[in-house]
Chain A
């Protein structure tokens, strides 16, 4: 037996795990080879040192901890789906994530769609009002005659003001149709510009700060106040439109 063959068996020899076929030859080699005998002695000493080094000390609380965990595991009656194999659980998790993503996208696009549909409606109503002979059904600069005009025409009472002193005279009002409902339209002037302010009851509660949306060279300004949704639209610049909003 050569040294390299012997080396492969020295470790097994101190564990008493040398295959029967090699045992005799190894013994002979060990008796003759001082180097291999040295390795064997070293390995034997290492083995002794490790054995006497002993295990890592087990913390006293471990047994209680494991007993508690086992009691809890025994008490748990989990539904079959969750207790299933890991791939079943992964599949379930993936399906859940897909559903959430689909529903999330659907509701977001639905919300965005309704928002942009309102935008389109508001703009169309504004332009249509300017195409006609008159954008108003009732001509009056007096809020006290415009407000009662809406009685029985819409199912809410829009707040009507006349900020003529600030350069936004009230011209009148009419009814319009936006987002599938009848809405109040108040018409104001600013120099030669016409401003349509559409009002209807809000779907969501609470007030919302004005938001300026420029669309096709027109400016749209929307806000919510006291349960009513307002959309002001005009070819007026955004700053003056916001000025009007502050006056209403």
Chain B
């Protein structure tokens, strides 16, 4: 069995998680796809350094590094990402996936729960990347504090306090969003 087959068997089941983290770090679908591809190729090339155990945190660490390098590059180039491109509905997306608050709620958004989902994702999108990533790793990827510490390269104590602050911030933003919606409805 070639090393590529082994790598694919171990890594490809986490494609979803890798893509989700990349997306939430850079918040652009086309760029998230490029980052995932780049990260998987890099991971494959340094597969020899993987010391066994759960591959997911190791893989997500690489995704995160590639995404941050990409973000730094974007900052340096002062490159403005086209909002149409970043948020355009893609194949397989329902309209409800476009979580940015549109002027008129889509039919899906009117379904019970969809609006709440859109609201929480909008609040998440507004957080700083450092807060966004710990929340994504914890709530969506369900990593332990130890694993998160490995991925972001920080002590467990930092993970704990950062998650706490991230939740506080998310709570405040969500509250503000609800208030604004109520005001708009009046």
A43 x B44 contact (CB < 8 A): no
Q: Which of B16-24, B50-58, B71-79, B101-109 forms part of the interface with chain A?
A: B16-24
A53 x B121 contact (CB < 8 A): yes
Q: Residue A12 contacts which of B113, B140, B160 (CB distance < 8 angstroms)?
A: B160
B117 x A55 contact (CB < 8 A): no
A50 at interface (Cβ–Cβ under 8 A)?
Answer: yes
- A residues in contact with B40, CB < 8 Å: 66, 69-70
Q: Which of A57-65, A108-116, A177-185 forms part of the interface with chain B?
A: A57-65
- B residues in contact with A159, CB < 8 Å: none
Q: What distance in Å separates the Cβ of B179 from its nearest Cβ neighbour in chain A?
A: 15
- A residues in contact with B4, CB < 8 Å: 70-71, 74
- B residues in contact with A46, CB < 8 Å: 120, 167, 170-171, 174
A227 to B27, CA, bound (A): 64
Q: 1/0 contact trace for A57-94 toward B, CB 8 Å?
A: 11111110111011101100000000000000000000
A7 at interface (Cβ–Cβ under 8 A)?
Answer: yes
Given contacts A50-B140, A66-B37, A66-B40, contact A59 B91 (CB under 8 A): yes
* Count of A-B residue pairs with CB < 8 Å: 107
A52 to B117, CA, bound (A): 8
A55 to B14, CA, bound (A): 12
A142 at interface (Cβ–Cβ under 8 A)?
Answer: no
B145 x A17 contact (CB < 8 A): yes
A15 x B120 contact (CB < 8 A): no
- A residues in contact with B161, CB < 8 Å: 8
A229 at interface (Cβ–Cβ under 8 A)?
Answer: no
Q: What distance in Å separates the Cβ of B114 from its nearest Cβ neighbour in chain A?
A: 10
B120 x A50 contact (CB < 8 A): yes
Q: What distance in Å separates the Cβ of A57 from its nearest Cβ neighbour in chain B?
A: 6
Residue from A46, A51, A52, A60 whose CB has the most chain B CB atoms within 10 Å: A46
Interface size class of A (residues with CB under 8 A): 35 or more
A66 x B135 contact (CB < 8 A): no
A70 to B144, CA, bound (A): 29
- B residues in contact with A63, CB < 8 Å: 12, 15
Q: What distance in Å separates the Cβ of A88 from its nearest Cβ neighbour in chain B?
A: 15
A66 to B63, CA, bound (A): 13
A39 to B168, CA, bound (A): 9
A30 to B44, CA, bound (A): 48
Q: 1/0 contact trace for A172-211 toward B, CB 8 Å?
A: 0000000000000000000000000000000000000000
Q: What distance in Å separates the Cβ of A23 from its nearest Cβ neighbour in chain B?
A: 14
Q: What distance in Å separates the Cβ of B122 from its nearest Cβ neighbour in chain A?
A: 11
A42 at interface (Cβ–Cβ under 8 A)?
Answer: yes
Q: Residue A59 contacts which of B41, B92, B140, B174 (CB distance < 8 angstroms)?
A: B92
- B residues in contact with A55, CB < 8 Å: 16-17, 19-20, 140
Given contacts A11-B164, A17-B144, A17-B145, contact A59 B33 (CB under 8 A): yes
Nearest residue, chain B, Cβ from A56: B23
A120 at interface (Cβ–Cβ under 8 A)?
Answer: no
B16 x A70 contact (CB < 8 A): no
- B residues in contact with A10, CB < 8 Å: 164
Given contacts A50-B120, A55-B20, A70-B44, contact A65 B33 (CB under 8 A): yes
A46 to B178, CA, bound (A): 14
A11 x B160 contact (CB < 8 A): yes
Nearest residue, chain A, Cβ from B7: A70
For window 140-173 of chain B, which residues contact chain A by CB distance below 8 Å?
Answer: 140, 144-145, 160-161, 163-164, 167-168, 170-171
Nearest residue, chain B, Cβ from A65: B37
For window 109-139 of chain B, which residues contact chain A by CB distance below 8 Å?
Answer: 113, 116-117, 120-121, 124, 135, 138-139
Q: 1/0 contact trace for B11-50 toward A, CB 8 Å?
A: 0100111011001100001001100110011001100000
Given contacts A7-B164, A46-B174, A66-B12, contact A51 B139 (CB under 8 A): yes
A56 x B32 contact (CB < 8 A): yes
- A residues in contact with B168, CB < 8 Å: 11
- B residues in contact with A17, CB < 8 Å: 144-145, 160
